[in-house]
Chain A
């Protein structure tokens, strides 16, 4: 079962600005809703996201209840060297997803 989708260009020229798109599978339950019987539904959201480039953090974000289900995050970075981009999501109830993508910089 796959729960993260990543779009990273496979190759890039050194110094080029590349766009990275990420999508993670999560309900993002706000904590403000109630069941039909009036019982509050506890909050269950993704709390944080970070992206590392060869082990160095290049982008991070904090997520809040107003963010929709299956959060989509898009950002850019400068292609400096070939290597691995790591993606990490953490959230309530021990939610943790990691994924990675390779990039070749010429």
Chain B
């Protein structure tokens, strides 16, 4: 019986693997955008997210908290020290023993080293710092390598991705794997690779995080969205970044 179950599990995992989009067919949703929206992203002086990046650069140099330290005092020039960092996040944090996304890592650093209050999720300053740090990885391939510590997060993320949720009763995979490239109410369904977060989304008229986007999709399915910073969302972020491994970081991207 156990062997039979193991066989069934293996078959199920093979089916799941078969449904995953092969690397050669992965496409950034940049390619689905119109000419004007692409032009916005391509030129930093037309991309409104540049305001957040510039704010992030100031925040990087600004002292905060009881320790009277700024990011730059420990980390130096972000252009070199933060290069490639966002491409490796979410990542396991040895101190807390948890998987942290980039926003949570920034806040952990604020609390532990600057002795400052953590920034609120989706606040201008947290988005600005995240955009500034993530921009230093622009053009680099997403590099997520699960190990013994993070494999459970990957499995949890994959399981959530494939689970039907909400009154609409759809899983992420049903749209973004099985029907990617087709249309939903006139809009092309993207493959959902988080290559450019935080993004400037025209619908938001501002910059937002990947978790905000995930929560949007969940409320669209009439599901109760997980809270910002919840383990479920971080695991899902981890799975999505792993799924997009090798694709180039576009931060700060523009999306419709």
Contact = CB atoms under 8 A, between A and B. Distances in A.
B48 interface: yes
B55 interface: yes
Interface string A1-14: 11101110000000
Contact of A2 (B46, B54, B205, B206): B54
Interface stretch (A47-55, A64-72, A83-91): A64-72
Interface residues of A, number: 15
Interface in B36-51: 40, 43-46, 48, 50-51
A5 B205 CA distance: 17
Interface string B219-252: 0000000000000000000000000000000000
Contact of B51 (A2, A21, A28, A68): A2
Given A68-B202, A68-B205, A1 B54 contact: yes
A70 B49 CA distance: 10
Given A25-B51, A68-B205, A69-B205, A6 B45 contact: yes
A2 B53 CA distance: 10
Interface string B179-216: 00000000000000000000000100110000000000
B178 interface: no
5 contacts: A5-B51, A23-B48, A28-B205, A68-B205, A72-B46
Interface of A: 1-3, 5-7, 21, 23, 25, 27-28, 68-70, 72
Interface of B: 40, 43-46, 48, 50-51, 54-55, 58, 202, 205-206
